[in-house]
Chains A and B, each alone.
Chain A
Amino acid sequence: MTTASLIPAAARGEVTQARVIHSEWIKLRSLRSTLFTLLAAVLAMIGLGLLFSYFTADRWAHLPADEKAHFDPTLVSLRGFYLAQLAVGVLGVLVVSGEYATGMIRASLSAVPRRLPVLWAKALVYGVVAWVLTTAASLVAFLIGQAAMSGHHLGTSLSAPGVVRAVLGAGLYLTVVGLLGVAFGALIRNTAGGIATVFGVLLVLPVLAEALPSSWFQNINPYLPSTAGQGLLHIHQEPHTLAPWTGFAFFCLYALIALAGAGVALKRRDA
């Protein structure tokens, strides 16, 4: 039995942020759940976009006048984002909570005892992957959706005002949802708890806010994470919302605060 020193002292590398990013990329791409979840997000985005576009166009003649007046062909083709955010958010939570569930986190933090590089690397790697895929899916959903509506002369094009912002916005919104998932996964360290929190914040808060007196609702609603973040997808600014990029800046700020909290918790708590 020999384990003779196979790594010469000169080749003993230090832990760097770039290496930890490489490590997290290997981790992300080597799990089947990553593939399936991201595939689900892309299919939801494109499939639902096509369905909504097709049926909206098909039933156009029967739609009430006020719906026709508020018709936003870009948003209709991007509607799949609503389902896609579930997949992207869940995978974001799993990127961290999966390590706690299996005990892998102890191996990860033993390899990188300063800990924070692991969290930043997870956020960066998953953020980039989610951004590339959801932006591509958003563009495909838009093009297919407009094609489905063009027969009824309802479609729009990328050159129309605000359309590029909305198409890119769907990818950006979903990316930040993914980062919120990473942050809550690290804060709560439990898959079910992390998922419940992310979607409590994104989906349940707006519903609860609606139960408030309407003057309160009008003041609070623009700053709710999902309202603020989804402003980018609307060609025409909704009532009681912030300007698209202002809203998105707030949404990013919430995600940064959550990530910073996750960093503090990761550094302080026993693994």
Chain B
Amino acid sequence: MIEAHSLTKRYGERTAVSDLSFSVRPGIVTGFLGPNGAGKSTTMRMLLGLDAPTSGRAVVNGRSYAEHRAPLHEVGAMLEARAIHTGRSAYNHLLALAATTGIPARRVNEVIDLVGLREVAKKRVGGFSLGMGQRLGIASALLGDPATVILDEPVNGLDPEGILWIRNLLKGLAAEGRTVLVSSHLMSEMALTAEHLIVIGRGRLIADTSVAEFTAQAAGDVVRVRTEDAEKLRALLAAPDVTVESRAPGVLEVTGLSSDRIGRVAADHAIALAELTPQQASLEEAFMELTRDAVEFQAPAPELVAAGSEGSAA
């Protein structure tokens, strides 16, 4: 269980996190979403007591992190995959962390096997690929068999197989009753992994909602219709709570009517339809819409990342 109470962090003039309150429940994966620079990493550092909040309080498993006497058993965290001395082997890195709380070398070997780093465990971390570094970061997080797991951008730099592995790992951890908080700037990834979402932008809470609700909101009910008799159909569909837009000749975008109903009206009036498709706004678009005002660095013409492209890998 993680609770943030009015967390605020200012660096001089800049406010990185502003009056942020949320709670993260055990037993499900909670996604922590926001564009780059939204304050996700700063918030996570405050949860772990690495950065002191300017005001407000972070509580993990009932206490502020620094008050835990056996922190590795309470919270396992990967803040940056590269928070590892590059000159040390993966095995010695884990062994040194384990020693702080008396975790035996046997457990170090267990987590090495768990993340699949057995073959490179005795090699220096400096030569690791980004994906191997991520796996080592996750091994450090799981070392103390913690009740709460906090991972910052764990899928960054992973290949599709690695992404699938993380997804299953996170769901497995949550199924064991642990609290799992995972940050990402990719909505599509979170839609597949998380059950609950906390969305922030410019350090402020934008949404605290379930993925199902978010998806339902995002879906809308736009139906795309293509027909040669577009103007005739448009007139027939007109009603107070129905809007019809036309962005191209012969193409209508209808909001407020189901595709069944539109098809029935067209059939009744002998209008031939070339296309009748319910549209779903992609999750990524919905996410971008939600955070549009909160994006710190905006390209002149942002490219949309098609949601669901990750889905094919699942």
Could you list which residues of chain A lie within 8 angstroms of chain B, going by C-beta atoms? 1-7, 12-15, 19-20, 22-24, 26-27, 30-33, 98-99, 102-114, 270-271
Could you list which residues of chain B lie within 8 angstroms of chain A, going by C-beta atoms? 45, 48-52, 65-66, 68-73, 75, 77, 79-80, 82-89, 92-93, 95-97, 99-103, 107, 110, 114, 140, 142, 144-145, 165, 168-169, 172-173, 176
Name the residue of chain A whose CB is nearest to the CB of B140. Answer: A107
Name the residue of chain B whose CB is nearest to the CB of A26. Answer: B96
What would 25 A/B residue contacts be, using CB atoms closer than 8 Å? A1-B169, A1-B172, A2-B172, A3-B172, A3-B176, A5-B145, A6-B107, A12-B144, A14-B70, A23-B99, A23-B100, A27-B88, A30-B95, A102-B83, A103-B80, A103-B82, A104-B85, A105-B83, A106-B50, A110-B77, A111-B72, A113-B71, A270-B50, A270-B51, A270-B52
B82, B86, B99, B144: the one contacting A19 at CB < 8 Å is B99
Question: Inside 8 A of A2's CB, which chain B residues have their CB?
Answer: 172
CB distance A271 to B114 under 8 Å?
A: no
CB distance A30 to B96 under 8 Å?
A: yes
CB distance A3 to B100 under 8 Å?
A: no
CA distance A95 to B29 in the complex (A): 37
CA distance A6 to B86 in the complex (A): 28
The 7 closest A-B pairs by CB, nearest first: A13-B102, A30-B92, A23-B99, A113-B66, A103-B83, A14-B69, A7-B145
Name the residue of chain B whose CB is nearest to the CB of A12. Answer: B73
CB distance B50 to A271 under 8 Å?
A: yes
Most chain-B CB neighbours within 10 Å: which of A19, A99, A107? A107
CA distance A111 to B92 in the complex (A): 15
Shortest Cβ distance from residue B155 to the other chain A in the assembled complex, whole angstroms: 16
CB distance B50 to A23 under 8 Å?
A: no
CB distance B102 to A109 under 8 Å?
A: no
Assuming A12-B73, A15-B70, A113-B71, is B86 touching A102 (CB within 8 A)? yes
Assuming A102-B84, A114-B66, A270-B52, is B173 touching A3 (CB within 8 A)? yes
CA distance A7 to B65 in the complex (A): 20
Assuming A1-B168, A19-B100, is B85 touching A102 (CB within 8 A)? yes
Assuming A102-B85, A107-B97, is B172 touching A13 (CB within 8 A)? no
- With A13-B101, A15-B101, A103-B82 given, can you name 20 additional A-B contacts, CB distance below 8 Å? A1-B165, A2-B172, A3-B114, A6-B107, A7-B145, A12-B73, A30-B95, A31-B85, A31-B88, A33-B87, A98-B85, A98-B87, A102-B82, A102-B86, A104-B83, A106-B83, A107-B83, A107-B97, A110-B48, A113-B66
